[in-house]
């Protein structure tokens, strides 16, 4: 009996001590590269909060938080178009208290756009962090003319094409075919029909594809190794590759690069809400945001960061985007509920096709 008591009291002690620790930790669910080691260290020194990082992507973030109904992490970084429909169905995030966010240091138009796109029943669920585009990463020496989404099924580059077979690629294919999928977001039937056309196009073009890349690492690997010359990719990755191999660069497709904004959102059962707001304000402070952008290449929502940016970063942007390209960026609107089901079948059929 005494042993049992000892056992119970030690477990209780362990549990309570782990609770005490969790008050001083911040569990961050983010993308690789979004929390550079130097900034994490500076944040820990400044606030005394220990940071624990978990790397993920949009789909996994949603699945992880859904499994725990919004517990297990104190802050997450989903893309702005993937918040509203999830929040409507499974309340995994909590409302952002903008009085705690230092909005003075943010680009107003981006804050407004994110507020609009992530609102559910008048409550806002995200703060913008960074933005970028999906376009083409091309080896310009070997494929000098590749400049549009339609080059991803161009016979000219047979065997040297690669892309990530996920929903952005379906959207991109539609744009490459001269259609506007975003205009059909309120018409499920028409969207389904468009996806059918996209499916046919990508199955026809499959014989030219080397392989579908699946992660940021495989994306870099496949063009770096020369296994592919024309791939879909993120601007930051393309510019990082350009640094090591000047032949490779990011190109904004003529029919429009796809623009995304990644955000900060606070899970419903976050145990360290105060720490989460501190993290948001810290990461978006001009100098810190500039450090992130200089390192990773993605644009930041921090207003004052521009003056701390390297010339190289500015050069990247002007090299890949003309004035028309910028105006032509297709920003992802919030994904309507149920659309992912349509797309998943299409993706499966393309992957299974000969």
Partner 1 sequence: MKKINSIFYLLLIPVLAWLLISIVVPHLDLLFKSFRFENDDGLMVFSFNNYLAFFEDDIYWLTFVKTALYSIAVTLLAFLVTFPVAFYLTKVVAKKYSRFMVLLLLIPIWIGELVTLYGWMILLSDNGVINQFLISSGIIDAPIEMLYTHFSMTIGLLYMSMLFMIIPMMSALDSLDDSLIEAASDLGASKWTIFRQIIIPYTVPGIVSGGIIVFMLVIGDYVAPNILGGKSSLWFTEQIYNQFLSTFNWNEGAAFGFLLLLLSSSIVWLALKLTGQKLDRVGS
* Residues at the contact surface with partner 1, assessed by CB under 8 A: 59-60, 62-63, 66, 86, 166-167, 206, 209-212, 214, 218, 221, 225-227, 340-341, 343-345, 347-349, 351-354
At closest approach, how far in Å is the CB of 223 from partner 1? 12
- Six-digit token string for 139: 């080896």
Q: Which is nearer to partner 1, 60 or 112 (CB)?
A: 60
C-beta neighbour count of 146 within 10 angstroms: 24
Cβ partners under 8 Å of residue 95, min gap 6: 123, 124, 125
Compare residues 178 and 338 and give the one whose CB is closer to partner 1: 338
Minimal distance, residue 4 CB to partner 1, in Å: 8
CB of 153 to partner 1, least distance (A): 13
In terms of CB distance, is 101 or 203 closer to partner 1? 203
| Closer by beta carbon to partner 1, 314 or else 345 | 345
DSSP string of 216-276, one letter each residue: HHHHHHHHHTTS-SEEEEEHHHHHHHHHH-TTEEEE--TT-PEEEEEEEBEETT-S-HHHH
Q: How far is the CB of 209 from partner 1 (least distance, A)?
A: 5
The strand pair at 50-55 and 25-30 is best described as parallel
In the complex, minimum distance from the CB of residue 190 to partner 1, in angstroms, rounded to a whole number: 19
Question: Which among 204, 151, 195 is positioned nearest to 174, based on CA atoms?
Answer: 195
Nearer to partner 1, 189 or 341 (CB): 341
* Pairing between β-strand 209-212 and β-strand 161-163 as defined by DSSP bridges: parallel
């Amino acid at each position: 009996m005494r042993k049992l008591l000892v056992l119970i009291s030690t477990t209780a002690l362990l549990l309570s001590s782990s609770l005490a620790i969790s008050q001083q930790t911040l569990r961050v669910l983010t993308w690789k590269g979004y929390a550079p080691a130097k900034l994490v260290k500076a944040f820990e020194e400044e606030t005394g909060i220990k940071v624990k990082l978990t790397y993920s992507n949009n789909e996994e973030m949603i699945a992880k938080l859904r499994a725990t109904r919004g517990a297990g992490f104190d802050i997450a970084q989903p893309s702005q178009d993937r918040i509203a429909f999830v929040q409507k169905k499974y309340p995994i995030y909590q409302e952002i208290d903008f009085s705690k966010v230092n909005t003075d240091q943010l680009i107003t138009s981006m804050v407004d756009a994110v507020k609009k796109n992530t609102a559910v029943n008048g409550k806002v669920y995200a703060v913008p962090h960074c933005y970028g585009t999906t376009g083409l990463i091309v080896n310009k020496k070997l494929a000098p003319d590749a400049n549009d989404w339609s080059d991803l099924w161009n016979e000219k580059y047979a065997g040297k094409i690669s892309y990530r077979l996920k929903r952005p690629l379906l959207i991109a294919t539609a744009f490459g075919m001269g259609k506007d999928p975003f205009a059909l977001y309120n018409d499920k039937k028409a969207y389904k029909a468009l996806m059918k056309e996209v499916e046919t196009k990508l199955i026809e073009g499959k014989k030219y594809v080397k392989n579908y890349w699946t992660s940021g690492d495989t994306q870099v690997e496949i063009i770096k190794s020369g296994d592919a010359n024309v791939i879909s990719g993120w601007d930051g990755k393309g510019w990082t590759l350009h640094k090591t191999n000047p032949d490779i660069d990011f190109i904004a497709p003529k029919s429009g690069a796809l623009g995304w904004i990644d955000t900060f959102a606070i899970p419903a059962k976050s145990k360290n809400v105060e720490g989460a707001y501190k993290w948001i304000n810290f990461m978006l402070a001009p100098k810190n945001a500039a450090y992130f952008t200089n390192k990773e290449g993605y644009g930041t929502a921090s207003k004052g960061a521009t003056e701390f940016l390297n010339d190289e970063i500015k050069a990247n942007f002007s090299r890949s985007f003309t004035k028309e390209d910028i105006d032509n960026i297709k920003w992802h609107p919030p994904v309507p509920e149920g659309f992912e089901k349509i797309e998943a079948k299409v993706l499966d059929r393309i992957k299974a096709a000969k």
